[in-house]
A and B are shown apart, each in its own frame.
Chain A
Amino acid sequence: MANFVLANSGHNRDDEASKFGMWLFLFTELLLFGGLFLVYTIYRYLNSEAFLHASYELDVIMGTINTVVLLTSSLTVALSITAIQKGNVKLSLWLITATILFALTFLVIKYFEWSAKFEHGLFPGMDHYNHLEPAEKMFFFLYFFMTGLHGLHVVIGGALLGYIMWDIKKKEVTPQNYVFLENGGLYWHLVDIIWIFLFPLFYLIH
């Protein structure tokens, strides 16, 4: 075996590198949604009337509630990091649990919203949808695609936080070594930030 030590070994613990890697990954996520925002921008520019008209079908109240739910979940996950930094593992676990519960709340509300649209036949291929103008179809398709992809991220983020709770229980994540929780938190905040833009662009066209 080698009888010398590399200070710069790739196998050493390096929290800064982990966080840097997570940020880089978030950049790719931003641009992934960025492509969709680009499509949205162009089609909204080309069909502003139709987009306005179609947006009346969306429920502003539900959208607002979901915005508040996600912001609050962002708060709880941020607080959980403060808690673990201060050595309060129990509180940290409770706060992550709360975050996951908010994530579920968000998904349940989303489920009711989507079912309402399904009842009105607004999903691509359904009756009402087929009779819409092309530009309105575009709006609803983008709505389902973008909120759907976002919903998928909510599910992944929630699962990730659940996994981190498991790691905290196993003492893999501790007040001395909590970068995994920080990264999980970063991912969760990204999910929130995407929604911060989705909300006005779909619900608040007036």
Chain B
Amino acid sequence: MANKNTSRHLPGDPEVHHIIPYKFHIGIWVGLIILTVMTVLVSVMGISLVAFSVITALIIASAKAVVVANYFMHLKYENKLITWLMGVTMLLFVVFIAFTAFDYITR
């Protein structure tokens, strides 16, 4: 009854399992380490404009998160639906923060 040998396939599913080469993963890792070093330098040495350090740190962190999601987590090779739903989730998170912050900023 239950089929364990092959997985179901529906329209919209990725055609084949995408195998990411070892070297490519290592390249991604090097990039992530560089971004980490950058964010530490920006903060500790004050290389960037001080007032923007929070924003710089968050932009770098977001870039790292996107890279991890896209390549390490294979998001780029999955059904596009997941990317869209991830977008909705992030949108809601931003709304939660923005609306709440709006209350505090205008108080």
Contacts and interface: CB of A to CB of B under 8 A. Distances in A.
Q: Do A and B come from one complex?
A: yes
Instruction: State the majority secondary structure of interface residues on B.
Output: helix
Given A16-B79, A45-B101, A75 B89 contact: no
Interface string A23-48: 11001001100100110011001100
A31 B32 CA distance: 24
A49 to B, nearest CB: 14
A130 interface: no
Interface residues of A, number: 57
Instruction: State the majority secondary structure of interface residues on A.
Output: helix
Nearest to B30: A75
A50 interface: no
B80 interface: no
Contacts, number: 144
Interface in B41-91: 43-44, 46, 50, 53-54, 57-58, 60-61, 64-65, 68-69, 71-74, 78-79, 81-82, 85-86, 89
A31 B17 CA distance: 29
Contact of B65 (A15, A37, A75, A196): A196
Contact of A16 (B13, B21, B86): B13
B74 to A, nearest CB: 8
B3 A75 contact: no
A82 B7 contact: no
21 contacts: A12-B2, A13-B7, A15-B7, A15-B8, A16-B8, A27-B86, A30-B89, A45-B105, A68-B36, A72-B29, A74-B72, A75-B29, A82-B19, A83-B22, A85-B17, A177-B4, A192-B72, A196-B68, A200-B39, A204-B44, A205-B43
